[in-house]
């Protein structure tokens, strides 16, 4: 092996990073409390719950990264006394706190919904007065996939919202954005400052969980440049190394940033087959100090998440051009356990594939058979 990269977390993102690393003769180790995690088949798992685990992990690799954005900062602090981590600690700290994140977006002139910090019932009432309704109340830390959120539509919900989330102490109230669609931009920055960006993904959710992404996001030629500019500002400001994701709302007034993830992202899984170099390989290249690969699109791509239950493998693979990625996770309602990549050549093939897929997937997805893609 030429190099070993230690990764905080051992979920499917770590698994796919390690899959991309192996052809480069790069091995990964994982700091993870679950020994049967998806990444376990790909490299050594250092049980995060054991005494001295962090020391063992620091010893296990030359350079470090993460696949879990709630990686404890205390662990990162211990690590950076001895070895380097990409992305930088600061990016992780900011992404773990919605208030810091929004302050950074403001500082870099990246539009965000109007917001207020909330830490008491009184400050929530004041935020409602100042911002108007509806607002989305979110915990500043610890939320994901829409958890830790309350949409306030009427003033008589204030007490209920506070009762549900007030325990968190640090909250953010933000104006409800009436968006037409949700997109994400993913970019990578190398150790030499080189930045490359993948095409925008249009993201569709079902019960708050990403169900599928369409790439390139239809009708996004103008949005691409703007989103690219925003994410480049973030990457350069943070002196970032590795892959960064920025989730955005498309509105009549333009793009609004929702949040950033300092890591590879579910809406970038399409890039394994759909781009010249995937988000996983480019992340590994960046962390290892290697030149970045092209982020160019090979063909319009649809990535469909497998949520809760496995479909029959043979039925998925019988679909023309389909690729199946399973994460070695047990089935559980609402859990992401794999994904399917479709690369249709025209609209008729796309419609046909979506219709067939809707029959194969055990859990109905918000997959429409009249999906739009720019071919």
Chain position whose Cβ is nearest to ligand AMP: 177
- Contact between 176 and ligand AMP (CB under 6 A)? yes
CB-wise, 223 or 322, nearer to ligand AMP?
223
Q: In what order do the strands lie in the sheet with 115-118?
A: 115-118, 171-175, 135-139, 149-152
Contact indicator for 179, 142 with CB cutoff of 8 Å: no
Q: Which of 69, 101, 182, 202 binds ligand AMP (CB under 6 A)?
A: 182
Q: Which of 7, 136, 171, 234 binds ligand AMP (CB under 6 A)?
A: 136
- Contact between 258 and ligand AMP (CB under 6 A)? yes
130 in a known ligand binding site? no
Number of shown-chain residues binding ligand AMP (CB under 6 A): 12
- 74: which 2 tokens? 């205390």
Residue position matching structure tokens 């207020």 = 116
C-alpha distance from residue 21 to each of 5, 280, 297, 369 (Å): 9, 8, 21, 36
CB-wise, 205 or 335, nearer to ligand AMP?
205
CB-wise, 2 or 106, nearer to ligand AMP?
106
196 in a known ligand binding site? no
CB-wise, 248 or 288, nearer to ligand AMP?
248
Helix (H) or strand (E) holding 329: none
> Which part of the chain contacts ligand AMP (CB under 6 A), choosing from 170-178, 274-282, 323-331, 334-342?
170-178
- Contact between 259 and ligand AMP (CB under 6 A)? yes
Per-residue interface string for the shown chain with ligand AMP, residues 88-117, x marking contact by CB under 6 A? -------------------------x----
- Contact between 354 and ligand AMP (CB under 6 A)? no
Q: State the DSSP code for 38.
A: G
Angstrom distance (rounded) from CA 37 to CA 330: 10
Closest CA to 196 of 132, 282, 310: 282
Angstrom distance (rounded) from CA 211 to CA 209: 6
84 in a known ligand binding site? no
Q: How far is the CB of 161 from ligand AMP (least distance, A)?
A: 14
> Which part of the chain contacts ligand AMP (CB under 6 A), choosing from 38-46, 102-110, 171-179, 355-363?
171-179
- 170: which 2 tokens? 């640090």
Ranges of beta strands (E only) in the chain are 3-8, 26-32, 45-47, 63-66, 84-85, 115-118, 135-139, 149-152, 171-175, 181-189, 195-197, 201-206, 209-215, 242-251, 254-261, 301-307, 323-326, 336-342
Q: How far is the CB of 259 from ligand AMP (least distance, A)?
A: 5
CB-wise, 46 or 183, nearer to ligand AMP?
183
Any idea what the Cα angle at residue 94 is, between residues 89 and 95, rounded to 5°?
Answer: 100
CB-wise, 206 or 347, nearer to ligand AMP?
206
Residues that bind ligand AMP (CB under 6 A): 113, 136, 143, 146, 174, 176-177, 182, 205, 247, 258-259
């Amino acid at each position: 092996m030429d190099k070993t990269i230690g990764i905080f977390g051992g979920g499917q993102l770590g698994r796919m990073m390690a899959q991309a690393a192996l052809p480069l003769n790069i091995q990964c180790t994982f700091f993870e409390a679950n020994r049967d995690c998806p990444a376990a088949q790909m490299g050594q798992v250092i049980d995060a719950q054991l005494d001295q685990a962090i020391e063992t992990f620091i010893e296990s690799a030359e350079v470090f990264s993460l696949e879990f954005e709630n990686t404890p900062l205390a662990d990162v602090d211990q690590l950076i006394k001895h070895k380097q981590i990409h992305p930088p600690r600061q990016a992780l700290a900011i992404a773990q706190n919605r208030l810091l994140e929004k302050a950074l977006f403001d500082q870099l002139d990246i539009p965000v919904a109007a917001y207020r910090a909330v830490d008491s019932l009184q400050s929530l009432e004041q935020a409602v007065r100042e911002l108007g309704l509806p607002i989305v109340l979110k915990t500043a830390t610890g939320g994901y996939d829409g958890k830790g959120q309350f949409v306030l539509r009427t003033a008589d919900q204030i007490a209920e919202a506070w009762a549900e989330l007030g325990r968190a102490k640090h909250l953010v109230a933000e104006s409800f954005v009436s968006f037409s669609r949700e997109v994400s931009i993913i970019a990578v920055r190398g150790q030499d400052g080189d930045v490359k960006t993948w095409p925008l993904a249009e993201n569709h959710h079902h019960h708050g969980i990403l169900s599928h992404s369409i790439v390139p996001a239809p009708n996004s030629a103008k949005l691409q440049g703007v989103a690219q500019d925003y994410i480049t500002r973030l990457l350069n400001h943070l002196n970032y190394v590795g892959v960064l994701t920025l989730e955005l709302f498309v509105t009549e007034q333009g793009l609004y940033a929702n949040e950033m993830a300092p890591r590879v992202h579910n809406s970038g899984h399409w890039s394994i087959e759909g781009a010249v170099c995937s988000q996983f390989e480019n992340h590994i290249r960046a962390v290892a100090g290697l030149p970045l690969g092209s982020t160019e699109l090979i063909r319009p791509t649809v990535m469909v998440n497998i949520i809760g239950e496995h479909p029959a493998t043979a039925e998925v693979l019988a679909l023309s051009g389909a690729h199946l990625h399973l994460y070695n996770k047990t089935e559980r309602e609402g859990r992401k356990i794999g994904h399917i990549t479709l690369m249709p050549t025209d609209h008729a093939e796309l419609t046909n594939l979506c219709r067939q897929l809707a029959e194969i997937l055990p859990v109905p997805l918000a997959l429409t058979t009249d999906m739009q893609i720019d071919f």
